[in-house]
């Protein structure tokens, strides 16, 4: 039915993730002969998570959302307190299975759109159960361990 399987949701609760922050941005093109960087601690989760008790992590498995920048192995932050709207990336439960898709809503109709042309969209059929479980607020990629 769908290509993405998501690991069981894990609540963030009161967890925090602190990291060093620099007062300047980093160029992704040519290196800057920048002045000195002043570092201070920031809480990454504080910047990303608005509703800690309603925010969960889920690991993506599959490629149907790659053109939205969501890849196999990414960890998604999913907020159940955000009201889903047209165009948002959401976690839906389709016939009892989690899937990650873009929500499409127009004229009282709804479908879940893949962000990869090789995967079909999900259009509700008679008797099919589809629930929007939460809204994806961030995708975390890990490049090194």
State the pTM of this model: 0.74
pLDDT at 132 over 60: yes
- What is the set of domains in the chain, with CATH numbers? 5-13+52-140 (2.10.109.10)
d(CA 134, CA 116): 21
Average pLDDT over the chain, rounded to an integer: 81
Cβ atoms of 19 and 48 within 8 Å: the answer is no
pLDDT tens digits along 96-114: 899 999 999 999 899 999 9
pLDDT at residue 47 in the model = 81
Could you give the 3-state DSSP secondary structure of residue 97? strand
Annotated catalytic sites, by residue? 64, 101
Q: Between 1 and 109, whose confidence is greater?
A: 109
Q: Which residues of 4-20 are buried (b: 16+ CB within 10 A; e: fewer)?
A: bebeebeebeeeeeeee
pLDDT tens digits along 58-101: 999 999 999 999 999 999 999 999 999 999 999 999 998 999 99
């Amino acid at each position: 039915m769908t290509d993405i399987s998501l690991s069981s949701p894990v609540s963030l609760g009161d967890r925090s993730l602190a990291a060093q922050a620099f007062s300047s941005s980093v160029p992704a093109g040519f290196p800057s002969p920048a002045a000195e960087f002043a570092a201070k601690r920031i809480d990454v989760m504080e910047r990303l998570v608005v509703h800690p008790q309603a925010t969960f992590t889920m690991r993506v498995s599959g490629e149907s959302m790659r053109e939205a920048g969501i890849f196999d192995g990414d960890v998604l932050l999913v907020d159940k307190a955000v009201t889903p709207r047209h165009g948002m990336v959401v976690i839906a439960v389709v016939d009892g299975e989690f899937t990650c898709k873009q929500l499409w809503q127009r004229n009282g109709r709804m479908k879940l759109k893949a962000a990869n042309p090789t995967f079909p969209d999900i259009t509700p059929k008679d008797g099919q159960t589809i629930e929007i479980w939460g809204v994806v607020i961030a995708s975390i990629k890990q490049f090194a361990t």
